[in-house]
Amino acid sequence: MKGLFITFEGLDGSGKTTQIRILYDFLKEKSLDVVLTREPGGTEIGSKIRNILLNKKNKGISSRTETLLFLASRAELVSKVISPALKEGKIVICDRFFDSTVVYQGIARELGEDRILEMSLWATADIVPDLTFLLSIKADICEERMQVTSKQKDRIEMEKNYFKEKIYRGYLKIARLNKNRFIILDGGQDKLSLSQKIGSKVLNVLIEKGLLGKDY
Ligand code: TYD
């Protein structure tokens, strides 16, 4: 693939969405071709799947069904949006990707991380991010942040704190196993210093890949 595929991972309340927005604007200012997308959702079919997944009325959904729906939404997103954009040499930023499924379903819901990874790779036709930022933040701090924002919790966010603790630890494990593409950052630090670290890392990788000249 010619472009650059960047993903963001972390607990809900880790500041992912804010940082993605800042990075998107930063790259756009440099006149780079950037596509911003999110998981689950990002396509017409994906949005329908997202509604099923996050609707509180669907509390009884089985963990395996939940997993397959996440994978289905992602398969659609890869084939309709991510792959074509990368082939055209664009930068794609995705809010969550298969690391979320490995951690939330594989580790936290105990469906088996290896199997979930294998299924995820099949669903994405083996597309793996070039760069993944993990905004690491302890479960209790996320919970506090979520309480001060007026944002309604979705079905998965309503899970108890012990689930969040497993996600927190699961992410660190996956990140350490995939050091070649993961950058672990403290999501608790101030917004500006976090965005500067992310921005400079992305610029370096763009230069390394030859997508940006040294005198940008
Ligand atoms: P997200 O879109 O990040 O939520 P928000 O719209 O609030 O930013 O993700 C929705 C929820 O789905 C979140 O609790 C994480 C969970 N999730 C999984 O359990 N597995 C997955 O594969 C993905 C992509 C998300």
pLDDT tens, residue by residue, 123-169 = 999 999 999 999 998 877 777 777 777 667 777 666 656 688 999 99
pLDDT tens, residue by residue, 113-136 = 999 999 999 999 999 999 999 999
CB distance 39 to ligand 1 below 6 Å: yes
List CB contacts of 165: < 8 A, sequence separation 6 or more.
139
List CB contacts of 89: < 8 A, sequence separation 6 or more.
2, 3, 33, 211
Q: Which of the residue ranges 36-45, 131-140, 196-205, 207-216 would you say has the lowest mean pLDDT?
A: 207-216
CB distance 154 to ligand 1 below 6 Å: yes
Closest ligand 1 atom, residue 108 Cα: 19
206-210, Cβ contacts within 8 angstroms, sequence gap of 24 or more: 206/4, 206/32, 206/91, 209/4, 209/130
Helix or strand holding residue 120 (H, E): helix 113-123
User: How far does the centroid of ligand 1 lie from the alpha carbon of residue 171, in Å?
Assistant: 14
